[in-house]
Structure 1
Amino acid sequence: MATEQTPAYTSASSGPTTIVLAGASGELGLQIALSLLERGAYVRALIRRGSTNPQIATLREQGATVVEVDFANSKELTEACVGAACVVSALSGLRDVIVDTQARLLDAAVAAGVPRFIPSDYSIDYTKLPYGSNRNLDLRREFQERLDKAPIAATSVLNGMFTDLLTGQAPVVLFKLHRVAYWGNADQPLDFTTLADTAAFTAAAALDPTTPRFLRVAGEVATIRGVQAAASAATGKKFGLLWAGGLGVLGTMIKVTRALMPTSDEVFPPWQGMQYLHNMFSGLPKLAPLDNARYPEIRWTSVREVLKSRNE
């Protein structure tokens, strides 16, 4: 469980706080929806018309109101946002989604008089990175520039890397080899937060009208040596370190890999994950200061717990 207690957020005059959530049928979006419902919110989940995602049934079963919309229809989006205290985006995609669709959602929130907007950031601190170092984060910065000009309060949740990726998707913890791979410095602090904890924090932030422009959290700040120790403790087997080279080597690997698939329309092609690791190992997007204590009911999940869950 990400939360030890779930305080209710209600108004004596209007009942539960209404939160509009776009992208609610995605992996992170669903968990945000469930966390909002646990906190007593009324969740209006915006789903692409005609979607057959099986998570839609889960949303309804758990108490969310599912609203099918055409995300290209500004009038429909505006009507769907009316009465909300905050619009939360958990949309995932490339420019057509992160910039274009989110821009329409933002305009709809403003037109509907919604006071607050949380964009689909959920990442390392892209504001500290140079343009061109990460395609997906460049898109988030592009949308940020538009968001900061809009007449609406905004809060971005930044959480580092999803710890869940260490169980297989990110080429860091090599379970079969009993090694932890890295580039650069094994003592560089890295930010990790689980999907569930990110969702719990986002839900709390959506219901908190006093949030600042950026909130930064890390379920655990660990170096590669710390990940090595966590892997050993979680599996009961001794893990070693595997230095794959300096950041220059990783940068060359990214260029070569990207050259082999230059027109990829995948959201997360192999070179995109490599860009993310390069960013993290550089230390530039390290989150600071951390806002973990803002909602004390949230219990943060460690790297060790996540790695242990893989073997259970």
Structure 2
Amino acid sequence: MAGATGDLGFRIAQELRKRGATVRALVRPGSTKPQVASLREQGVGVVEVDFNDAPALTQACAGAACVVSALSGLREVIVTAQAQLLDAAVAAGVPRFIPSDYSIDFTKLPEGSNRNLDLRREFGRRLDQAPIAATSILNGMFMDLLTGQAPVILFKIKRVLYWGSADQPLDFTTIANTAAFTAAAALDPTTPRYLRVAGEVATMRGLQAAASAATGQRFRRLRVGGLWLLKLLIKVTRRLVPAPQEVFPPWQGMQYLHNMFTGLPKLAPLDNARYPDIRWTTVQEVLVANLATAQHAR
């Protein structure tokens, strides 16, 4: 597996071990991340390999039943490094490949509407041409972001911020649930090209109700404007703060929200029931846990 020292990748590796799988994590030579030692302690085989060394990367993939990627980055990672990993997997005779998608359904979005998802679509075209069975995991937005990076639920002013319609269904899944589902899919040789899951499908009215129930306080909705306004804000923000080398600059998150609010990348049908042992976490549960953590830290 590639990307096992990141948050999602680390959890995927843990979930694979819980399911009794033999896991091999590919890490950069000389990596000093604390996750490397933790992976070893949990029985994960750690292989240091330079992705530019094709023979070594092929050897690192040898004997695997499935290569799982949880790499995060821009073109040099999502397209170039994953292509190197894909070529090595094919050369090693690995039968299956799970790319680092973990997102809304970008196959339904127009080109240019989301830089990071355009890169995944580009790699997906290459993956579809390779002689290997591929499965992308699509999980909507990480539910965990609702209490941090995604400025939707605003606790200080007790508002739920949105653009467009308050009745647009949106897909949310926790990182933990995404990791568990990915691990189950990696050990399932019958997976199709795409698997779609959502821990909860919620409208802005639903998020409002979840925030009110979690806090015991009344939250209101705050409609900033139509989607045209959000699109304009994205354009202005990207011009003022381009940050082309950042994976998640402010305008990138805004693009993701715009995509979701349009309804175009809505996940359907959902495959939540494919692995019955997974219990899906709700938005309210995430908010309650976040509040408990915040109170404990005081």
Task: State TM-score, norm by structure 1.
Answer: 0.93
Q: CA deviation at 1:113?
A: 0.2
Trace 1:229-244 onto structure 2 (pairs within 5 A): 229-244=209-224
Question: Does 2:127 correspond to 1:147?
Answer: yes
**Amino acid of the structure 2 residue aligned with 1:82:** A
CA distance in 2, matches of 1:268, 1:301: 25
Match of 1:79 in 2: 59
Q: Output the CA distance in 2 between the equivalents of 1:160 and 1:263.
A: 24
**1:263 shift after superposition:** 4.8
1:50 maps to 2:50: no
Corresponding residue for residue 190 of structure 1: 170
Q: How does 1:64-75 map to 2 (within 5 A)?
A: 64-75=44-55
Of 109, 125, 146, 2:105 maps to: 125
Distance (Å, rounded) in 2 between the aligned partners of 1:200 and 1:113: 26
Structure 1 window deviating more from structure 2 (100-109 vs 254-263): it is: 254-263
CA offsets 1:100-138 (integer angstroms, 9 cap, x no match): 000000000000000000000000000000000000000
Q: State the partner residue of 2:225.
A: 245
Structure-1 separation of matches of 2:172 and 2:250: 20
Tell me which residue corresponds to 2:255: 275
The aligned counterpart of 2:295 is none
1:298 alignment counterpart: 278
Q: CA deviation at 1:63?
A: 1.0
* One-letter amino acid matched to 1:101: A
Is 1:111–2:99 an aligned residue pair? Answer: no
Aligned to 1:12: none
The within-5 A match list for 1:255-274 is 255-274=235-254
Answer yes or no: is 1:160 the counterpart of 2:152. no
For 1:109 and 1:307, the matched residues in 2 are separated by 40
CA contact (8 A) 2:96 2:133 kept: yes
Deviation at 1:262, TM superposition (A): 2.8
Task: Count residues in correspondence.
Answer: 292
Deviation at 1:223, TM superposition (A): 0.3
Residue 171 of structure 2 is aligned to residue 208 of structure 1: no
Q: Secondary structure at the match of 1:278?
A: helix
1:69-128 Cα shifts (integer Å, max 9, x gaps): 111111111000000000000000000000000000000000000000000000000000
Letter aligned with residue 228 of structure 2: G
1:100 aligns with 2:80: yes
Query: 2:160–2:204: 8 Å Cα contact kept in structure 1?
Result: yes
Secondary structure at the counterpart of residue 121 of structure 1: coil
The answer on whether the counterparts of 2:243 and 2:249 sit within 8 Å (CA) in structure 1 is no
Give TM-score scaled by structure 2 length.
Answer: 0.97
Map Cα deviations across residues 250-275 of structure 1 (whole Å, 9 max, x no partner): 00000000011335200000000000
Whole-angstrom distance in 2 between the partners of 1:263 and 1:31: 29
Q: Secondary structure at the match of 1:42?
A: coil
Q: List gaps (5 residues or longer) in structure 2.
A: 293-298
- Residue equivalent to 1:136: 116
SS of 2:206 mapped into structure 1: helix
Aligned to 1:37, the other structure's residue is in SS state helix
Task: Write the deviation string for residues 210-258 of structure 1: whole angstroms up to 9, x where unpaired.
Answer: 0000000000000010001001111111110010110000000000000
- The residue aligned with 1:177 is 157
- Counterpart pick for 2:40 among 15, 38, 60: 60
Q: Which protein has the bigger helix share?
A: 2
Q: Work out whether 1:226 is the aligned partner of 2:191.
A: no
Q: Is the 8 A contact 2:166 2:204 kept in 1?
A: yes
SS at match of 1:180: strand
